[in-house]
Amino acid sequence: MRSFAPTLSTLFLALSITSTADGHKRADPCAQIAGGLFAAPAELKSCLKSFPFNETLRQNVINVVSGVFDFFTFEDFYLNSPPPFQESTVDIRADLSRISTQIYETDYDFNLDLYNFVNRLNDGHTQWTPNCYATWENLLPTPIVSLEVDGTESVYIAPDSVAFINLVPSGFASFYASINFDWQRLAGARVLKIEGQDPYDYVDFIADTVTGNFLDHGVRVNSVFSSYRLSGSAFSQRFGDLAGQLFSPAENITFTLIPAESSKPENITVPFLSTFMGNQFTDSASYWENNCAANSGTNGVDRRLGSNLHGSPARALPVAVGRMPSSAIGLPAPFQPSLPPVVPSADVMRTYLLPDGKTGVIFVGSFLDDVDQFQIDVQNAVTSLKSSGATRLVIDLTNNLGGTVCLGIFLHQYLAGSSFGYSGFNSAVRANPLAQKIVAADIAHRITQDVSFYAPDQWTFVNNTVLPDDFNFVSPAEGVTINGQVDPTSRRLRDICSFSVPIPESPPFDLTNVAIVSNGNCASTCAMFSTGMYERHNTTIAVFGGKPGESMEFKGMAGNQVLEWTDLDSEIKTAGLKDDSLAPPDLLVSANMRHNWRTAYSFLEENTPIAYRSELPQLRFPYTLKTYNDPQNLWIFAAQQIFG
């Protein structure tokens, strides 16, 4: 975690006067907010909007973004997104063309438009992140939740808000104290309206304009609410996308609510405070230099040069990880599990035996870990649970961020046993003209999997045989027709995963006694793992939360593999193609344009990406006062419901 050392005086009172070229003295709008962790949104906006629109930068950014979209496997789906994902219908090229000519007042306005357009594709694997602006997040001291109380689901200000907000670095609460805003008394209030609308309607609005990330509307809705998670190895609680908004112009939100100790409705406008996650600065010039201008890490490298490889060349492992969701801080201690962990320490998972003595729980926070350690931790968890008498297993994937593709394949294989066969998916990449040149160049230069994802020996055929070094898997391309467009794609490919612990020959738990719980916010490798368990073993999945009466998928963000801009640019440079007319230029600003580079296809429907196959959980439950922020209570409830 970053260190927090803001003081209100440096935040809001420091006002530096600088001389401008024309001799007038004027306050530098960025100097006014320099040195702190928090800033009031209106003052922040004056700083961020002080950078003029620059046509050179716009054209540079659009060239990169549009070049990246050539590789985006889902582009043609967006022309007419199939139900139930029809909301995510966008003509990507038409929007890009509009943004490349529209008149903008400032660099901020251009970036906000581009950010919103890409964000509203609702694919967390495909994101424009300008570090100049998307390093500020607006926070509200009144996160919301949807709870069932006495049989009725309603929106509430999270009842644990006081304990939760008290874990935020002190500059946050002291800002509200300085303006005499009593947010503490709002904890647990029942929300009747937000911005004059029915609260669930306003939640829909946030889900469709702020959340992004997930094709499924139901999962986006759940992401608007505050929820628990495991971040690294620590329990934490998300603000949710209403109370935590990245790169947002919003300054406040008006609630109509009934405070917990009252019966009288009130209107209350709660101001946001912005928190900074970027590099320190003292004024506008240093803000731009340290946060907005391209730096040595912005673009890719030619990995054929030894000096560009850190340490010994290790095989690049495909990664599918969601964009870091909105801010989270610690889960207040009273709500953390009180049961003794069955395995004392593990990186990204926690393991418990429930009081029934039969149900083991493994809470897997992500698949982002040292690859050997993750496997050892799974082995320890399963072995210890079995020796403690567990005969059934609940895996909690709530807010799982995804991670290394092979670790999802490993967890599935470990639970299914070595005799089960390949536990991953068949996949493909786009075979656009530049991708075809890259693979041809990689083959000609004998480039191998240690430096390139386009190297044939990175993959196997669907019969599990590694591709020969000279096998061009994108040419000839296979034509797939999507929404009337013929999209050239590669041969079907599989991941090569080597496991560092022995896989049990048969399933360690009877697979009918294995279940998954989550809140649908299950990104990337998490989505592939749960889809695999569901499609291959009928694993029971119970999803919590969401909006009453609306369906929710269990897989939030299901691509297969993400390439960050640096990854794609490195592929181009390593193939010796940076000077090719099809290659996008280096970025001139500090930013990332990531994209979904590889698609996983359903095991049950070989031409449908798992992302576009609607698969609903067998069980759905609303959160209650006892379960929304208390994982142990949720597991005990879930085990009773699932196993009886």
Ligand X SMILES: *[C@@H]1O[C@H](CO)[C@@H](O)[C@H](O)[C@H]1NC(C)=O
- Give the footprint of ligand X on this chain (CB under 6 A): 54, 56-57, 251-252, 256, 265-267, 269, 271, 461, 463, 465, 536-538, 588
Q: Which is nearer to ligand X, 206 or 557 (CB)?
A: 206
Torsion of CA 412, 414, 418, 420, to 10 degrees: -30
> Residue written as tokens 């020969």?
468
Work out how close the CB of 480 gets to ligand X at its nearest, in angstroms, rounded to a whole number: 18
Work out how close the CB of 57 gets to ligand X at its nearest, in angstroms, rounded to a whole number: 5
Q: Which is nearer to ligand X, 229 or 392 (CB)?
A: 392
Work out how close the CB of 471 gets to ligand X at its nearest, in angstroms, rounded to a whole number: 8
* DSSP three-state, residue 393: strand
Give φ, ψ of 189 to 5 degrees. -65, 145
- DSSP assigned state of 548: T
Work out how close the CB of 379 gets to ligand X at its nearest, in angstroms, rounded to a whole number: 25
Work out how close the CB of 54 gets to ligand X at its nearest, in angstroms, rounded to a whole number: 4
Work out how close the CB of 436 gets to ligand X at its nearest, in angstroms, rounded to a whole number: 19
* Residue 532: CA count within 13 A, CB half-sphere: 27
Work out how close the CB of 425 gets to ligand X at its nearest, in angstroms, rounded to a whole number: 16
Work out how close the CB of 311 gets to ligand X at its nearest, in angstroms, rounded to a whole number: 34
> Residue written as tokens 């998670």?
229
Q: Which two tokens stand for residue 559?
A: 């691509």
The alpha helices in 313-401, defined as continuous H runs, are: 371-387
Give φ, ψ of 228 to 5 degrees. -85, 160
Q: Which is nearer to ligand X, 22 or 150 (CB)?
A: 22
Q: Which is nearer to ligand X, 536 or 578 (CB)?
A: 536
- SS3 for 464-518, per residue? CCECCCCCCCCCCCEEEEECCEEEEECCCEEECCCCCCCCCCCCCCCHHHEEEEE
Q: Going by C-beta distance under 8 Å and a sequence separation of 6 or more, which residues neighbour residue 110? A: 53, 58, 61, 99, 104
Work out how close the CB of 574 gets to ligand X at its nearest, in angstroms, rounded to a whole number: 26
Closest listed residue to residue 404, CA positions, set 226, 511, 523: 523
Residue 639 is inside which H or E element, if any?
helix 631-643
Gap between the Cα atoms of 431 and 270, Å rounded: 50
Q: Which is nearer to ligand X, 84 or 265 (CB)?
A: 265
Gap between the Cα atoms of 525 and 317, Å rounded: 12
Q: Which is nearer to ligand X, 494 or 573 (CB)?
A: 494
Q: Which is nearer to ligand X, 266 or 550 (CB)?
A: 266
Q: Which is nearer to ligand X, 54 or 336 (CB)?
A: 54
Q: Which is nearer to ligand X, 94 or 462 (CB)?
A: 462
Q: Which is nearer to ligand X, 57 or 575 (CB)?
A: 57
Work out how close the CB of 347 gets to ligand X at its nearest, in angstroms, rounded to a whole number: 31
- SS3 for 218-254, per residue? HHHHHHHCCEEEEECCEEEEECCCCCEEECCCCCEEE
Q: Which is nearer to ligand X, 373 or 464 (CB)?
A: 464
Closest listed residue to residue 326, CA positions, set 367, 287, 277, 278: 277
Q: Which is nearer to ligand X, 260 or 317 (CB)?
A: 260
Question: Which one-letter amino acid corresponds to residue 307?
Answer: S
- The two beta strands, 514-518 and 392-396, are parallel
Closest listed residue to residue 358, CA positions, set 384, 391, 381, 393: 391
Q: Which is nearer to ligand X, 61 or 361 (CB)?
A: 61
Q: Which two tokens stand for residue 9?
A: 């005086």
Q: Going by C-beta distance under 8 Å and a sequence separation of 6 or more, which residues neighbour residue 249? A: 41, 45, 112
Work out how close the CB of 269 gets to ligand X at its nearest, in angstroms, rounded to a whole number: 4
Closest listed residue to residue 439, CA positions, set 454, 420, 451: 454
Sequence-distant contacts of 147-151: CB under 8 A, at least 24 apart = 147/622, 147/623, 147/624, 147/625, 147/628, 148/622, 148/623, 148/624, 149/624, 149/625
Work out how close the CB of 475 gets to ligand X at its nearest, in angstroms, rounded to a whole number: 15
Closest listed residue to residue 191, CA positions, set 203, 182, 175, 207: 203
Q: Which is nearer to ligand X, 266 or 356 (CB)?
A: 266
Work out how close the CB of 13 gets to ligand X at its nearest, in angstroms, rounded to a whole number: 20
Work out how close the CB of 537 gets to ligand X at its nearest, in angstroms, rounded to a whole number: 6
Q: Which is nearer to ligand X, 190 or 536 (CB)?
A: 536
Q: How far is CA 552 from the centre of its chain?
A: 17
Gap between the Cα atoms of 31 and 599, Å rounded: 45
Q: Which is nearer to ligand X, 342 or 511 (CB)?
A: 511
Distance from the first to the final alpha carbon of the chain? 41
Work out how close the CB of 41 gets to ligand X at its nearest, in angstroms, rounded to a whole number: 8
Work out how close the CB of 266 gets to ligand X at its nearest, in angstroms, rounded to a whole number: 5
